[in-house]
Structure 1
Amino acid sequence: MDQTNPTNVITATGRTRSVASHCLEIFAGAIGWGAAMAASALAALYLRNGLLTSHLTALMLVYFFGGALAWPVLVPLARRFTRRRPISARFAAFFLALSIGTVAMTAFLFAMDYRWFYSRWHAPFGSLIWTFQFLFTGASAVYQFAVLGLILFMPLGLLCLIVVSAYLARQVR
């Protein structure tokens, strides 16, 4: 295999593979992780109130995209820092990166949805008042997500996080 070919990447195990297969792996992982986070939220809502909410589709989209947008950034980053480390360190790195990153991205998307709803009552863009309104609306949305939204990761999300972190830790050498 030609390691100087720009269409190839060297993986953490020292193998060479194509950029297309690397991108496909990241894309498939993002879709899978997003689906797992949406399924976790769906399971939690079902256990909590039998899916009796008028915003089910919006919630599923926020949780799906929170997971799907966090994966392509955090998994390659964690892989980069866990090369030649013991498996326990790799597991911890993937566990922390995926948990913190997924929660942060989902909270960000929740805050942007919250901001979009309240933007009709805010001052014109770029003004000092708008800046305060943007910051405090975002902060209150993140707080509300921390109180009400984190629990939706618990029934299935924690199990998925442990399994995926263990899989990724074994995959990287």
Structure 2
Amino acid sequence: MDQTNPTSTIIAADRTRTAASHCLELFGGSISWGVVMAASALAALYLRNGLLTSHLTALALVYFLGGALSWPIMVPLARRVANGRPPSARFAAFFLALSLGTTAMTAFLFAMDYRWFYARWHAPFGSLIWTFQFLFTGASAVYQFAVLGVTLFLPFGLLCLITTSAYLARYER
């Protein structure tokens, strides 16, 4: 006759609950960070030209997805690096991870949008010419993003980055 150990059942339920809470925390942080990055871009556009652009929705979506997709990758990475370190090192880890990850993911999404636009004039997929066109189109898009797009993270994105990094460094387990 099989009997289940009530202690192991409780431990398994606790582990499931803990894993679910970590996933929800990561998902909630991801959505929140995406909203904050989109709001930062919109605020910078408002200050710059009163939101007078025909690509407002696309820009907001790229910045939202850049923030939302970078969070679940970079926060666990920063937690792993910052584990057991003093608060200043944890702050630096979160600051560096979130800033580099968000910028890189947003630049990647911008480059893929750029590539999608120019794809109709590129050579057939997989050819050597297509490879060069893909690489140089992506490189020029990332350069254009570095020159023009990064400024949309300032000044509000920087303030949110500092605040979020300080919060994560302080309340890290």
TM-score by length of 2: 0.92
Q: Give the match for residue 52 of structure 1.
A: 52
The structure where helix makes up a greater share of residues is 2
CA distance in 2: counterparts of 1:86 and 1:70, whole angstroms: 24
Aligned pairs (5 A) from 1:135-146: 135-146=135-146
Match of 1:128 in 2: 128
* 1:18-167 correspondence runs (5 A): 18-167=18-167
Displacement, 1:4? 5.9
The count of corresponding residues between Structure 1 and Structure 2 is: 166
Deviations 1:82-133 (A, max 9, x none): 1110000000000000000000000000000000000000000000000000
Q: Which residue of 2 aligns with 1:5?
A: 12
Q: Please name the residue that 2:3 is paired with.
A: none
Larger radius of gyration: 2
Letter of the 1:161 partner, please give it: L
Percent of residue pairs identical: 77
Structure 1 length-normalised TM: 0.92
CA distance in 2, matches of 1:42, 1:150: 13
- 5+ long unaligned stretches in structure 1: 10-16
Q: In the alignment, what sits opposite 1:12? A: none
State how far apart, in whole Å, the 1-side matches of 2:13 and 2:124 are. Answer: 47
**Residue 18 of structure 1: SS of its match in structure 2?**
helix
Shift of 1:5: 2.8
Equivalent-residue separation in structure 2 for 1:114 and 1:144 (angstroms): 10
Query: Secondary structure at the residue paired with 1:75?
Result: helix
